[in-house]
Structure 1
Amino acid sequence: MATSSSNLEEDESLKGCEVFVQKHNIQQILKECIVNLCIAKPERPMKFLREHFEKLEKEECKQIMARQKSNSQSDSHDDEVSPPPPNPVVKARRRRGGVSAEVYTEEDAVSYVRKVIPKDYKTMTALAKAISKNVLFAHLDDNERSKIWQRKRVKT
């Protein structure tokens, strides 16, 4: 039941993101930005991108002000020009370690104590032999491998 509700929340969140991207024409803006970046090929791409988006923001503000002026001229009782609407506040999500993991905070991560299960020599050699041929463990160095061995519970 918990996975069903979390999947539903993720689907709703994804749909909300898609609506947002379509409403604000984000995909087209990013495509144009990348094309301009590839044409200009600047030495400092981040500076170019920042300036590009600042220019777009200024143009957007001008359009909003022009719309407000035309609206205020048609509405004679409304002489004040209000500033552009603020950007929507995005609610910060809590960090998760993985899809199936529970949510944990920064404090939990800092105060984490690794659990060590003692093993005898025979068990350690059996573990070493078992994972020596496993592709998933091939890239690990000795320190990482020992952490896994210390944590592994062996049924006897």
Structure 2
Amino acid sequence: MNIVRVAIAAAVLVAVGLATTLVVGGKEMAPTVQYTLLDGTKQSSDALRGKVVLVNFWATSCTTCVKEMPHLIETHQKYQARGFETLSIAMAYDPPAYVMNFTETRKLPFRVTMDTTGEMAKKFGQVQLTPTTFVLNKKGEIVQRYVGEPDFAQLHALLEKLLAESA
């Protein structure tokens, strides 16, 4: 009987915590990650503050990731001139040669890095499913998370809104 009470109390605390987060409306800050682009350039996500950013976790073995990539390219090209950046993060299990080949043959126009240690996926909340995409506002707050392919019309509407906001 004590176990049941403890379980109920834990469930209530979790529910209250979730409700508080929703009521307060606080947005979660995106984690700071250090990464190396495929060209060897070392960068930090902090350098992207002040821009609207799409962070996409993907893998070359993921059919949905491959299917959505042309839409990500179009989205990047459509909004890049307005202060939009795309950071594409290949999962730790993806062979580096596959990622390099995919990036070159598809002529990906945005930042591509490999999460060779799995640390970036951990920092973004234990990302395990691909594709997983985060949209960050100019302050670096996570405003949307998609697991699976986004609805690109809805994503574009969100980007229009975020790009119109001041930092």
Q: Tell whether the structures are fold-level matches, with TM greater than 0.5.
A: no
TM-score, normalised on structure 2? 0.19
| Structure number with bigger Rg | 1
TM-score, normalised on structure 1? 0.20
Which structure has the highest strand share of the two?
2
Considering Cα pairs closer than 8 Å and 6+ residues apart, tell me whether 1 or 2 has the greater RCO: 2
